[in-house]
Structure 1
Amino acid sequence: MKEKIDDLNWKILECLQVNARESFANIGRKVGLTPPAVAERIKKLEDLEILTGYHAVVSHSKTGHALRAIITVRAFMGKLKPFLALVDSLKEVVNCYRITGNENIIMEVVFVDQFHLEKFIDKLIQYGETRTHIILSEVVSRAPIQKG
């Protein structure tokens, strides 16, 4: 069953996507509800799994991972399942998606330097053909989901 999200819940979701640590009181002032009413609505959004978590955003460059890349993998015959079993253990992988098209996998990865990237690619080539794109800058990042 698809749960309909009303306008107040959308406003609450917008507030939380900008600042997940915002207090119920501040959100309430913005959306016109009491703090307990905001808390109740957030709890229901969590229970319905519309709101699935709260995350810290960490600067990759300030933690020593100055090189970021997008890597796609076109898995060799019989190598996709072993790769999927491995990918979660690769500490360089920030995001990974199984996709349609010529490639099977697209990953966002972080590295200390180009030598770290080279070693990472050496691990991947046994699973398939890789294509690497160095990220120069972010154009859109963490854009909030908005009411359709």
Structure 2
Amino acid sequence: MDTLDKKILEMLKINARESFATIGKEVGLSAPAIGKRVRQMEEESIIEGYSLKVNHEKLGIETKAYITLVMHRESTGTSNSIEQIRAMEEVQSCDRITGDDCLCILGYFRNNRHLIAFLEKISAYGASKTSIILEV
């Protein structure tokens, strides 16, 4: 991976739908050359996929929160419990972490009542601490 590949990646991070022609003009290569480099980075798993940025407020999401969870001893290390949490519709990401907490969950909720209902649901797995996201 050279400096041109890094520049291509930076441009794709800003706009994954940017045309190869536009990227090529910026870095001094043709559109087919950019396409070849992008395909190569995909084949090498440098680029693992593309994502979509969504305005969640327009979809009725008013509350976003980070929730850390200390799992009950019987649930700790149980991949089934973790997969059940990850499968919940409110969970955007769920990472196993080090330290006193076991999991860090990013959740999206219609409102605070929805968040409370979610916290009650995951209380079966352990004790949680919640930090509501005020601004991204």
Shorter-chain TM-score bucket reads over 0.9
Aligned runs of 1:1-148 on 2, under 5 Å? 5-80=1-76, 81=78, 82-138=80-136
* Alpha-carbon separation, structure 1, partners of 2:81 and 2:56: 25
The 3-state SS of whatever aligns with 2:32 is: helix
The two structures have a TM-score, normalised by structure 1, of: 0.88
> Which structure features the higher share of helix residues?
2
What 5-or-longer segments of structure 2 have no aligned partner?
A: none
Query: Normalising to structure 2: TM-score of the pair?
Result: 0.95
Q: Contact 2:68 / 2:130 at 8 angstroms: preserved in 1?
A: yes
Q: Name the stretch that deviates more: 81-90 or 110-119.
A: 81-90
Output the aligned Cα RMSD.
Answer: 0.9
Deviations 1:60-106 (A, max 9, x none): 11110111110000111121323212023211011211111110100
